[in-house]
Amino acid sequence: MQKLYLLVPLAPLLGALIAGLMGRIIGPVWSHRITIALVFASLLASIVIFVDVLEGNTYNGTVYTWLVTGDARFEVGFLIDQLSATMMVVVSFVSLMVHIYTIGYMHDDPGYQRFFSYISLFTFSMMMLVMSNNFLQLFFGWEAVGLVSYLLIGFWYTRPSAIYANMKAFLVNRVGDFGFLLGIAMVLMYFGTLDYAAVFTQAPEIVNEQIELIPGSSWLVITVICILLFIGAMGKSAQFPLHVWLPDSMEGPTPISALIHAATMVTAGIFMVARMSPLFELSENALSFILIIGGITTLFMALVAVVQDDIKRVVAYSTLSQLGYMTVALGASAYSAAIFHLMTHAFFKAVLFLGAGSVIIAMHHEQSMQKMGGLKRYMPITYGTMFIAALASAGVPGFSGFFSKDAIIEAVYFANIPGVDFAYFCVLATVFVTALYTFRLIFMTFHGQPRMDTHTKEHLHESPWVVTVPLMILAIPTVAAGWFIGPIVFGDYFNNVIYVSPQHNAIEKLGAEFSGIGGMMVHALSTAPFWLSTAGIFSAWFLYSAKTDLPGKIKTKLSILFTLLDRKYYIDEFYSWFFAGGTRALGTVLWKYGDVKIIDGFFVNGAARVVAWTSTIVRQYQTGYIYHYAFTMIVGIFVVLTLWLY
Amino acid sequence: MSFEFPLLSLIIWLPIIFGIAVFATGNDRNAQLARSIALTGSILGILVAIPLYTSFDSSLATMQFVENHVWFERFNVNYHLGVDGISMPLILLNCFITPLVIVAGWQVIKTRVSQYMGAFLVMSGIVNGVFSSLDAILFYVFWEASLIPMFLIIGIWGGPNRVYAAIKFFLYTLLGSLLMLIAFIYLYQTSGGSFSIQDYHQLAIPMTPQILIFVAFLLAFAVKVPMWPVHTWLPDAHVEAPTGGSVVLAAILLKLGGYGFLRFSMPIAPDASHYLADMMILLSLVAVVYIGLIALMQADMKKLIAYSSVAHMGFVTLGFFLLNAYGIEGAMVQMISHGFISGAMFLCVGVLYDRLHSRQIADYGGVVNKMPTFAAFFMLFAMANAGLPGTSGFVGEFMVIMGTIKINFWYAFLAATTLIFGAAYTLWMYKRVIFGAVASPAVEELQDISKREFVLLAILAISVLWIGIYPFPLTEVMHATVDQLLAHVSISKL
């Protein structure tokens, strides 16, 4: 079994190396054959491991020792349990679908082999992240997925917007990683190890320890650790205020938007917090912080999605909002619900993105929904699968998104830590907004009259099978993944992995009421989320299918609100003025004044000038006349004698 | 004992003898011969250094491969050599870099080839001498001698402003080391007539002289490292130096300063080291933050990398004065890693400079369209420079940050800003130079790297990844020495 564990990350790595280093020799076809075969091997291994874990065979062991220093050992190792096995299957499955889809999406791109190399490398990095049994390897995977994300956002490197977006993504993530690394350093300082198991066992011992970061104000060490770690999650999982990179990441090719910026990488932060539940459970303040950040992200990002015209940006803001849901679930100690939503979201969001990609191919890389409309006639498979995904996203009973989202909302309702009321309001209101923007996308793209130019319209066609087959395969879990909510969220599936302290027993209360998925659906009919989502779908139909002139009127009436949303609350403008501009200005001042004027100008060249000036004066005494020297000597002797005698 | 063979002498003198042989080939009619001899010498230099690693006993903290002969009996000066876990990796690094710079200058240097190649070989031997000297005078001779080849390399093969840069380099470092000589003379007096560095380690010295000794050494070493605020010679020297000169300067010569702290300042003046540790840490943090910000604004690629060097070397001095194992071993790893990364970064700039004869970022743009293989290598080194895990750049910074937080949270906070600034200045430069559409007709003409350049960059890429993925063997050789150093420094000598 341990060899199989190694196969899961190493097979895609091998594929990445072959496609990357020898891509020009073996050509495009063999590049995709080899990488797909190896990712498929990784998926099979993940499934075997998953089944093995279900039988109760978990594993925690070292592969090799990375470094020994001081009193600490740093190792590379695997922790295979219910959480990592679930993630492994989700990641390799979505990755395989995206690999296949890419054949169709990128078929005439000059960077074809490079693209396969990157997505296989991503799969490797993500596997290292989820399979890790220690913080160091987690950080390695964490930054490695960031690197691949950087490379893929900037895949079309001649586009100025792409190479701006990828640098922005990397730097904003680095801000998160800055906190994350400090958090890891605090963990090492207090526990003397970075091994999960050892840290989690010792965690309760330091629960009352305090640290004085600012003189006069004491913090619980555990709170500081958790918030620092969570800052890392905020970067990677694009939570407010570090969310700004994710919408721009849509500059990358669509397959990676599905794989990296929706289904897998951006959920790393959620996964990490769930993995660290034994730490986070000890700090109520950190959980409150998470709740509020998650609540803000959920609602405010969903609102932005409503005014976007670019089909990918709608899905991108939807991703932000859904990540907010997961974060709120973490804050409410409903870790299993967060992971469950992570899983269902991976499927339905992958369908939405890949479907959007399919539309974009058909539209000859036009992404504005204003120029679409009526596509359902031409692209029935894309329409059908996206419609299913939209139902899941809006949380219509029966579809996967309904179960996971409802569990989160209910869990927040039952939670009782500070900030929960605000979060509850946000997640509830967002149900309406989600249904609205999702079906706005469906209606604007697929229904109504075609608005594209005639040339595009003549060439409209359904995408090839390499595109539609992954969509159809992914549509299955988009519907059905939710049906497993019983064992996964309320059952004992995550019992040995996720720790929930007895005070934070929202999920337990919820589980007590749970009476099968049928019961959950029936119960939903009498609750607010169901009616909110129905209202959302209805509004979308009313505004974007029935009375299509109404949105324009609303836009003029509420132009201030519209502009605010359209400019994304001016956060990007503020950041580029304050942080980017401020840093550059500071750098210039330090350089021009600190280095050039003060150190070099005053001290270094000044010293040289003083030497030159002194020597000019001293040189005057080297006259060459004997009587000058003799006179100086006499004066000197006189002075010395005087001093000596008295 | 198998060490009776004078291995260290061979490692020092073999490159110097080959260097003299290269000089002897005379003018540029024999350029090809000069190149061949230089390459042979530098590769033999690596081969003879291999036993240093294979026969090294990493469980011992004492000096190994010791040679001790009388040099000047009158002043008790000895030809005393030996290495421990601190100096051995640095010697290997130096031997490793030398053939790379020889190959890097293979076609690029067309005038005075024999003198160029010979200067690098001689310098390689001299630097090995610095790292293995156990006698203060011998050390001082090698230390000062190492200035001469670099002074000539900058002054002869450098850019338009080379004379200013060469003199600035020379005076800065010379002034720093004069005070070191005074410290040696004081120590000679106090120890009752010994120049043995190991004797100095055992010497009891009162606090005030300890502080004075520390400051005297500090000036010598801080200039070399270079620490803020005595760093301004480095950007000028790098900008004017030819590619090979920059590589050696960044990869090797800066390490002399770092080595000095471990060999002299800390063991000879442990109480002063503790007393002044906070000051040293703060100076290092200024280097990390202040220099990181300055690097961001550079328009010249070489200046940018030079400033980035200063910021990365800030981690070295920061690590040392944490006075814990994470810090010192992390700083050692950082020194080795910086040798590879900065060397590689300067080589990359050299590759571009050889083609376009410009170091200005603004003259480039869209290079990836024409040089995809080069762009891939440059990406790897840029990421290593930004401290990406899996590359060597991460290991040292990680260890030092782990050590720093034990001293003070806010120190670690400032140190960790390198994650942001390091990525910002490196990737911003990369974006402007490599990415984008082809920016000018000159870029349109660019040819991708030759086989010679490919081999150079590939060797460095493997090294960078190897240390990033498996640093265990590297730190393994240091443990005993570092533990002993820490134990030694923790005992007061007052």
pLDDT at A141 over 80: yes
d(CA A535, CA A435): 8
> A280 or B30: which carries more pLDDT confidence?
A280
Contacts of A591 in chain B (CB under 8 A): 293-294, 297-298
Contact map slice: A 531-590 vs B, CB within 8 A: 583-584, 586-588, 590
User: Which residue among B172, B390, B437 places its CB closest to the CB of A140?
Assistant: B390
Q: Tens digits of per-residue pLDDT, A409-451?
A: 988 988 888 888 999 999 999 999 999 999 999 988 888 888 8
Long-range contacts of B468-471 (CB under 8 A, 24+ apart): B468/B384, B468/B389, B468/B390, B468/B391, B468/B392, B468/B393, B468/B394, B468/B395, B469/B390, B470/A64, B470/A66, B471/A66, B471/A67, B471/B333, B471/B392, B471/B395
CB within 8 Å: A70 and B329? yes
Least confident of A173-187, A230-244, B189-203: B189-203
Per-chain mean pLDDT for chain B: 89
Q: What is the CA radius of gyration of chain A?
A: 30
Q: What percentage of chain A exceeds 90 in pLDDT?
A: 31
Q: Are B478 and B329 in contact (CB under 8 A)?
A: yes
Q: Tens digits of per-residue pLDDT, B90-133?
A: 999 999 999 999 998 888 888 888 888 889 999 999 999 999 99
Q: Given pLDDT bands bounded at 50, 70 and 90, which one contains residue B2? A: very low
Which residue is closest to B426 within chain A, CA to CA? A167
> Do you find a cis peptide bond into A28, omega within 30 degrees of 0?
no
Long-range contacts of A594-597 (CB under 8 A, 24+ apart): A594/B290, A594/B294, A595/B232, A595/B294
Q: Where are the alpha helices (DSSP H) in B227-300?
A: 233-240, 243-248, 254-260, 266-268, 270-296
CB within 8 Å: A68 and B475? yes
Per-chain mean pLDDT for chain A: 88
d(CA A532, CA A527): 9
A281 vs chain B: nearest CA distance in angstroms? 23
pLDDT at A351 over 60: yes
| Beta strands, E only, A50-135 | 59-69, 72-80
User: Looking up tokens 């932000």, which residue turns up?
Assistant: A320
Instruction: Choose from A25, A69, A151 for mutation: most chain B CBs within 10 A.
Output: A69
pLDDT of residue B1: 42
What's at A218, amino acid-wise?
Answer: S
pLDDT of residue B156: 85
User: Which residue among A68, A69, A147 places its CB closest to the CB of B383?
Assistant: A147
Range A24-50 average pLDDT: 91
Contact map slice: A 211-250 vs B, CB within 8 A: 211, 213
A190 vs chain B: nearest CA distance in angstroms? 9
Within an 8 Å CB–CB cutoff, is residue B416 touching chain A? Answer: yes
pLDDT at B344 over 90: yes
A555 vs chain B: nearest CA distance in angstroms? 37
Instruction: Choose from A17, A21, A67, A194 for mutation: most chain B CBs within 10 A.
Output: A67
Q: Given pLDDT bands bounded at 50, 70 and 90, which one contains residue A520? A: confident
Within an 8 Å CB–CB cutoff, is residue B232 touching chain A? Answer: yes
Question: Which DSSP helix (H) or strand (E) runs through A357?
Answer: helix A335-362
User: Which residue among B383, B420, B427 places its CB closest to the CB of A178?
Assistant: B420
A422 vs chain B: nearest CA distance in angstroms? 32
SS3 A59: strand
pTM for the whole structure: 0.91
pLDDT of residue B168: 81
User: Which residue among A68, A69, A181 places its CB closest to the CB of B419?
Assistant: A181
CB within 8 Å: B435 and A157? yes
Among candidate residues B103, B389, B292, the one with its CA nearest the CA of residue A173: B389
Within an 8 Å CB–CB cutoff, is residue A182 touching chain B? Answer: yes
Contact map slice: A 133-162 vs B, CB within 8 A: 136, 139-140, 143-144, 147, 150-151, 154, 157-158, 160
Range A237-242 average pLDDT: 89
pLDDT of residue B275: 92
How big is chain B, counted in residues?
A: 494
What secondary structure letter does DSSP report for B440? S
Q: Are B478 and B403 in contact (CB under 8 A)?
A: no
CB within 8 Å: B423 and A163? no
A65 vs chain B: nearest CA distance in angstroms? 7
Q: Are A537 and A447 in contact (CB under 8 A)?
A: no
Among candidate residues A247, A304, A243, the one with its CA nearest the CA of residue A565: A304
Contact map slice: B 354-393 vs A, CB within 8 A: 366, 368-369, 379, 383, 388-390
Q: Buried b vs exposed e over A38-58: b needs ≥16 C-beta within 10 Å?
A: bbbbbbbbbeebbebbeeeeb
d(CA A568, CA A313): 12
- Residues near B173 by beta carbon (within 8 Å), at least 6 away in sequence: B147, B223, B224, B233
Contact map slice: B 195-214 vs A, CB within 8 A: none
Contacts of B384 in chain A (CB under 8 A): none
The first and second tokens of residue A453, run together, are 């130019």
User: Which residue among A140, A174, A213 places its CB closest to the CB of B389?
Assistant: A140
d(CA B356, CA A491): 66
Q: Tens digits of per-residue pLDDT, B285-295?
A: 998 999 999 99
Q: What percentage of chain B exceeds 70 in pLDDT?
A: 99
Backbone phi, psi, residue B57, to 5°? -100, 105
| ipTM associated with this complex | 0.91
CB within 8 Å: A66 and B471? yes
How big is chain A, counted in residues?
A: 646
Contacts of A172 in chain B (CB under 8 A): none
CB within 8 Å: A70 and B475? no
Q: Tens digits of per-residue pLDDT, A84-100?
A: 998 999 899 889 988 98
pLDDT of residue B436: 87
User: Which residue among A178, A185, A588 places its CB closest to the CB of B297?
Assistant: A588
CB within 8 Å: B232 and A600? yes
CB within 8 Å: A163 and B431? yes
Within an 8 Å CB–CB cutoff, is residue B412 touching chain A? Answer: yes
Q: Where are the alpha helices (DSSP H) in A108-192?
A: 112-131, 135-153, 160-191
Least confident of A13-17, A633-637, B27-31, B469-473: B27-31
- Residues near A414 by beta carbon (within 8 Å), at least 6 away in sequence: A332, A506, A509, A510
pLDDT at B308 over 60: yes
Range A248-267 average pLDDT: 86
CB within 8 Å: A69 and B399? yes
pLDDT of residue B4: 67
pLDDT at B218 over 70: yes
Instruction: Choose from B173, B232, B478 for mutation: most chain A CBs within 10 A.
Output: B232
Contacts of B419 in chain A (CB under 8 A): 174, 177-178, 181
Which residue is closest to A67 within chain B, CA to CA? B472
Q: Tens digits of per-residue pLDDT, B419-475?
A: 999 999 999 999 999 998 888 888 888 888 889 999 999 999 999 999 999 999 988
Within an 8 Å CB–CB cutoff, is residue B472 touching chain A? Answer: yes
Within an 8 Å CB–CB cutoff, is residue B427 touching chain A? Answer: yes
Q: Tens digits of per-residue pLDDT, A354-407?
A: 899 889 888 888 888 888 888 888 888 899 999 999 999 988 888 898 889 988
CB within 8 Å: B294 and A188? no
What secondary structure letter does DSSP report for B450? P
CB within 8 Å: A170 and B427? yes
Within an 8 Å CB–CB cutoff, is residue B468 touching chain A? Answer: no
CB within 8 Å: A591 and B389? no
Within an 8 Å CB–CB cutoff, is residue A171 touching chain B? Answer: yes
